[in-house]
Amino acid sequence: MATVETSNQNIFAPMLVFFGIIALLLLALMANMPASNIVQPTIVSDPANDDPAVAYAWACAACHGAEGEGVENFGPSIVNSPLLDDSSALMAMFTTAAAPADPEEGFVHPYRGGYPELTNAQLRSLIAYLGAL
Q: Which of 10, 105, 116, 117 binds ligand HEC (CB under 6 A)?
A: 105
Is 133 an interacting residue with respect to ligand HEC (CB under 6 A)? no
Q: Does 113 bind ligand HEC (CB under 6 A)?
A: yes
Is the Cβ of residue 69 or residue 105 nearer to ligand HEC in the bound state? Answer: 105
Compute the CA torsion angle 118, 128, 131, 62 (nearest 10 deg): -10
Residues 6+ apart with CB under 8 A from 90: 83, 84, 127, 130
Query: With DSSP H G I counted as helix, E B as strand and the rest as coil, what are the percentages for the chain, rounded to 5?
Result: 55, 0, 45
Contacts to ligand HEC by CB under 6 A: 59-60, 62-64, 74-76, 78, 81, 83, 90, 100-102, 105, 107, 109-110, 113-114, 126, 130
